[in-house]
Structure 1
Amino acid sequence: MAKIIPFKAVRPTRDKVSLVASRPYQSYTPAERESRLDHNPYSFLHIVNPGYKYQKEITGTERYKLVRNRYLEFKEDEIFIQDQKPTYYVYKIINREEEEFLGIIAAASAEDYENNCIKKHEDTLKDREETFKEYLKTVGFNAEPVLLTYPDNPVIKEILLQVSKERAEYEFTTTYRDTHYLWKIDDQELIQTLQKEFEAMDCIYIADGHHRSSSSCLLAKDLKAESSNHTGKEAYNFFMSYLIPESDLKIYEFNRLIKDLNGLGKEEFLIQLDEWYRIENRGQEYYKPSKPHHFSMYLDGEFYSLYLRKTKYNFENALDELDAQLLYETVLEPILGIKDLRTDTRIAYSDGKKDIAYVKSEVDSGAFTVGFGLFPASTSQLKKIADQNLVMPPKSTFIAPKLRSGVTIYEF
């Protein structure tokens, strides 16, 4: 039973939302960040990069406190307002590829995360969890929803479609050419219907945001222990999420780039690879895998197709069938000597939206020696891995949609 509740969002005024909304801080180049900070005083980047005001790089607890200060200044200047009633927020994104996503921004239960009613498919790093938990505890808000996905539901779909026919509270297009829409649902009858539909679900799944959700769960535990009047209804018991149906989820691959062949010559490497794969030289033909367990490889100016020898590899669980795991088990670890995918500096990742041409350009530049193209995982694979309590390797999936920060803010 999933507990998904409305909340009172802090959000930009309608006239400023397009100026406030920003991509995640790290997704900008330094030049892009500098331009936005120089020319847009309303950008949410001013909140998450408070040192800009002093032309100084500030880190750690000092930065967290200044983030809190900048946030309060945005509220004092009435750039941000807060809704007076708990609300569900219907949110639609149409990206530049004309893919459409329609879902609900709401508060999900940290207890559901702890009890595996909200299921995970990726591992998290303890240091990163603790760091973000301390950040949340200091700043007192979260501005980027966790992406959750739920089984397609006709009742929820009909409500979302009906609400989205009305005039949107927000409608804006970004320089990235994504168009965003937001509608409010504060009608009690509709709220109760939506809550009941979510409560009837056995579980929902994290699509993107494992560290944000795990950090929120740690924060709930800390604040519960510090409170003498804990009731379970406090805002810290929940975290902001964007929930979309499984059929709307778009999953792209992460391709792999490797700096060297682990001391092997080209021919020796291909011979070792031949043990696991049927190899075909495609020459200059751009090759992209068209089904699971097929890979593309770019090496020394040529493309290769790799087809797994299925008699060689045993599929014992859902993780074994994931191509990111398969490539690790057959190539990256035994042949190229890459044991820890999280820390080895010889491997880099490129999301599938950059396509195989990006892999080629990186290898041709000399920055990398070989690149591998993967077939994207499916939603059913993601769910099976989560259901079996297994964990994907890092950078197994690049999942859309990607939301803007600062459009809805959750305070606790």
Structure 2
Amino acid sequence: MTKILPFKAVRPAPAYAGLVASRSYEDYGEEELRAQLEFNPYSFLHIINPGYKFQHEIGGEKRFGMVKNRYLEFKEENTLIQDEQPCYYIYNIKTREASCCGIIAATSVEDYEKDVIRRHEDTIAHREELFKEYLKVVGFNTEPVLLTYPDNTVINDLLQERMKTRPEYEFATNNKETHSLWLIDDPANIERIKAEFAAMEKLYIADGHHRSASSWLLAKESRENNPDHTGKESYNYFMSYLISESNLRIFEFSRLIKDLNGHSKEEFLILLDEWFRIENRGLEVYKPSKKHHFNMYLDGEFYSLYLRKTNYEFTDALSELDSYILYEKILKPVLGINDLRYDKRIAYIHGRNDLIELKTRVDTGEFRIGFGMMPAGIEEIKQIADENLTMPPKSTYIEPKLRSGLTIYEF
């Protein structure tokens, strides 16, 4: 049984929606970020980068306090307004390749604590703690955790019917995406949605493991410090974007390595031969089309690597995962990459970018070798979560990627 609730979002006044909404802060290059801050006074980036107002870089808790100040200024100027009654929010993102639709709602920290909301990635303790402190100071969350659920006819029909009406917001972005938002404030429809989710046994985190973990830490601390705790306080929930599994788009990450760890090319290929059937594809741009097939680019040539299944033992869902196989049989033992997060000899390209980028970065000498694979499927992700296992870092690149500042959840 899962618990999701409507909430009173703080959101842009309709005239400002397209100007306020921004991509994730880390998604901007230095020049683009500067242009946004210089020429768009309504951008949510001004809130999360408060030092720009004073032309000064600010960090730590001082920055957290200034983020809150900028946020309050946006509210005082009525750039941001708060809904008077709790709503669910339908958010639709249409790109050149696809369209996805889901519900923004408040999801239960207790569900996360009890593994009703399931996870497939490890989190880093100091990042959890840092973001928890950030949330505690600023008092709001603007980036929903991406959750997925099995396709549901009742929910889908309700969303499609509501989307026939005029949206509260509709705006296009310079990367040719169209963003639309509808409110669900009708009590009958709210109860229907709530009941459908209550009938589900579990939800799965697709993206946002650190955000959900930090929200749980904040709730735990707030609960302990509140002698009048009832369970209904806003800190008992975190904002999520819930989409059906068919709306989820999963891409792979390619791996780029700086060197061959002291091996010659010939020695390296011989070491790989123990676990893989290797074929030199020459200049043919090879991309895997099956699980346990990999592509490799080395010295101006593509190779296909097929796992020798007679040698390899599948023991659980994780052992079936291609990113795990690549790590366990090549990256760690042969190339000496033990820490996938912090080793400076490895870099990643998400599957939205094609193999030409991988080839270019090897050909220029920035990296010596590159590897690619098939993306994981949703059933693989769910099985790993169900078995309480965790994927290696950078195993999946998941869309949709949401805009910040469209709906804000206050604690």
Do these two structures clear the TM 0.5 threshold for a shared fold by scoring above it? yes
Please report how far the alpha carbon of residue 96 of structure 1 lies from its aligned counterpart in structure 2 after TM superposition: 2.6
Give percent identity, aligned residues only.
Answer: 63
Q: TM (normalized to structure 2)?
A: 0.99
Query: Displaced runs of 4+ in structure 1, greater than 3 A?
Result: none
The answer for the alignment partner of 2:83 in structure 1 is: 83
**Distance in 1 between residues matched to 2:146 and 2:356, nearest whole Å:** 29
The answer for the alignment partner of 2:46 in structure 1 is: 46
Q: Does 1:60 align with 2:64?
A: no
Amino acid aligned to 1:131: L
1:353 counterpart SS class: coil
8 Å CA contact 1:22, 1:404 repeated in 2:
yes
**Distance in 1 between residues matched to 2:88 and 2:377, nearest whole Å:** 29
- 1:11-410 maps to which residues of 2 (within 5 A)? 11-97=11-97, 99-410=98-409
**Distance in 2 between residues matched to 1:198 and 1:308, nearest whole Å:** 40
Please report how far the alpha carbon of residue 389 of structure 1 lies from its aligned counterpart in structure 2 after TM superposition: 0.3
Amino acid aligned to 2:128: E
The answer for the alignment partner of 1:4 in structure 2 is: 4
Q: Which moved more, 1:339-348 or 1:394-403?
A: 339-348
Cα offsets for 1:51-104 (capped at 9, x unmatched):
10111111010000000000000000000000000000011111132x111110
2:14 counterpart SS class: coil
8 Å CA contact 1:173, 1:180 repeated in 2:
yes
Please report how far the alpha carbon of residue 226 of structure 1 lies from its aligned counterpart in structure 2 after TM superposition: 1.3
**Distance in 1 between residues matched to 2:94 and 2:202, nearest whole Å:** 27
Cα offsets for 1:161-184 (capped at 9, x unmatched):
100111000101111111111000
| Structure 1: gaps (5+ residues) | none
Amino acid aligned to 2:92: K
Question: How large is the RMSD of aligned CA atoms in angstroms?
Answer: 0.6
8 Å CA contact 1:146, 1:206 repeated in 2:
yes
1:193 counterpart SS class: helix
**Distance in 2 between residues matched to 1:120 and 1:139, nearest whole Å:** 26
2:341 counterpart SS class: coil
| Structure 2: gaps (5+ residues) | none
8 Å CA contact 1:96, 1:176 repeated in 2:
no
Cα offsets for 1:175-211 (capped at 9, x unmatched):
1111111000011111011101101000010000000
**Distance in 2 between residues matched to 1:20 and 1:170, nearest whole Å:** 12
8 Å CA contact 1:11, 1:406 repeated in 2:
yes
Q: TM (normalized to structure 1)?
A: 0.99
**Distance in 1 between residues matched to 2:360 and 2:94, nearest whole Å:** 29
Amino acid aligned to 1:384: Q
